[in-house]
Amino acid sequence: MKKTSEITFDGLRPPCPWMDDSHSLWRDSVRNFVDREIMPYVEEWESAGRIPRDLYPKAAKAGLLGMNYPEALGGVDDDTDAFHAIITSEELSRVGAGGIAAALMIHGIGLPPVMKLGSKMMQEEIVPQVISGERQISLGITEPSGGSDVAKLKTKAVRDGNGWRINGSKTFITGGMTSRWMTTAVRTGADGMAGISLMLVDLESEGVSRTELPKMGWWSSDTATIHFDDVFVPADALIGQENQGFYGIMANFNSERLGMAAQATAYARACIEDAATWAQERQTFGKRLADHQVIRHKMASMARKSVRERFAETLLMLKENFSVEHEGRIRLDIALTREELGAMVGAAAENITRLMTEYKDLGYLSQEGKSIYLLDTDAIESEANIGF
């Protein structure tokens, strides 16, 4: 990728000492895919509230869905690492429509518990179908009664012969209307974290119903409430050990938060690039917006804040390489980084929207595309807390 000091998506990205030529090649590959298969259709998909089904196998063929999954299951695990996945998040965020990445990559939070804790039989059945783009899998943690307080979830599974009966509901489920499976947190024991299990639920099972949720942003991503009315799941649907699901959920959150941190910084860079382009085009009071000192100060402030992604990259390196005694500290830093970068992208989106609104009312016009920054970044700021 050509180096530049301009106020552009690439120019605002600080160099990363842990990325090599393989990462540059991967960035070029993902960018070519995004420019060819996604960019021309963003407005169409945002209006439709869905991405097309054929985008999944296309993304699979390009290597996006199988990244860091075993080759034996159809994945792409040859000389790839977590930084390749971060690059994927960044390039998809460059689109400027968060719902597209959320829908396309939803397996990134639904599938890891199956890989880490699921039986070999479960992995062999589910993983190839998902990373080939044939089917989707979502994650079901959040409930109508609460989001981030996982230990108090109420959806209950009770034993019934050679299986379980599930009753309850999950909400804010990304991909909830279109996914075939959902990695689902249920209560199988006493109150608190020690009574939670993870189960793989076929969303086409009898007793499952779905209600689509309208949203302010992330329009291309279907979001739903999933209702369970005496839904039977077989005994082998258990992911990991009974009553040990809480720990699987927490482990999943770390990678999810790092991915959202990368998404937030990339989204901020996209906002700033568009703001800079607009400020150089728009004329006010006899000169370009970019020539007004107050605007230049705003741009400098946004650009300065956007380089915080280096901290997220450092945490990723620590997470991948440090020993277990550092794990607690790293988990805390990951959570704090996601919160900080979420706030940063929200500020960047607000600045670009205000800039366009104050000088040409464009911030109010969804046809211009940029007003969705403000709406979509609200989801980035809150998604880890409410369980998207």
> How many Å apart are CA 82 and CA 86, to the nearest integer?
6
Under DSSP, the state recorded for 282 is -
| CATH entry 1.20.140.10 includes domain 249-386 | yes
Q: Are 45 and 100 in contact (CB under 8 A)?
A: yes
pLDDT > 70: what percent of the chain?
Answer: 76
The pLDDT tens digits for 42-79 are 989 988 999 999 999 999 999 999 998 999 999 987 78
> How many Å apart are CA 92 and CA 87, to the nearest integer?
9
Per CATH, the number for 137-246 is: 2.40.110.10
What mean pLDDT, rounded, does the chain reach?
81
Please pick, among 256, 309, 381, 383, the residue that the annotation labels catalytic: 256
The structure's pTM equals 0.80
pLDDT score, position 2: 45
| Token pair in block for residue 231 | 């839904």
Grade residue 300 by pLDDT with cuts at 50, 70 and 90: confident
| End-to-end CA, the chain | 33
381 part of the active site: no
pLDDT score, position 3: 45
Residue type, 141: I
190: three-class secondary structure by DSSP: coil
pLDDT score, position 314: 52
> How many Å apart are CA 63 and CA 87, to the nearest integer?
13
Q: What is the mean pLDDT of residues 297-307?
A: 73
Q: What is the mean pLDDT of residues 319-333?
A: 46
| Token pair in block for residue 103 | 């829908």
Angle at 112 between CA 145 and CA 168, to 5 degrees: 25
pLDDT score, position 135: 97
CATH architecture assignment, domain 21-131: Orthogonal Bundle (1.10)
pLDDT score, position 66: 95
Closest CA to 116 of 83, 68, 165, 74: 68
Q: Which of 139-143, 147-151, 272-276, 309-313 has the highest mean pLDDT?
A: 139-143
pLDDT score, position 273: 84
Angle at 79 between CA 78 and CA 84, to 5 degrees: 105
> How many Å apart are CA 270 and CA 349, to the nearest integer?
9
Q: Give the start-end residues of each E strand in the chain.
A: 137-140, 156-159, 163-174, 181-187, 196-202, 208-212, 223-234, 238-239, 283-284, 287-288
- Answer yes or no: same fold for 21-131 and 249-386: no
What is the rounded radius of gyration, in angstroms, for the C-alpha atoms of the chain?
Answer: 21
The pLDDT tens digits for 79-113 are 888 889 889 999 998 888 889 999 999 999 999 99
Specify the higher pLDDT residue, 256 or 286.
286
Q: Are 74 and 63 in contact (CB under 8 A)?
A: no
pLDDT score, position 113: 95
Residue where the block lists tokens 């299990």? 197
The domain locations on the chain are 21-131, 137-246, 249-386
> How many Å apart are CA 272 and CA 300, to the nearest integer?
10
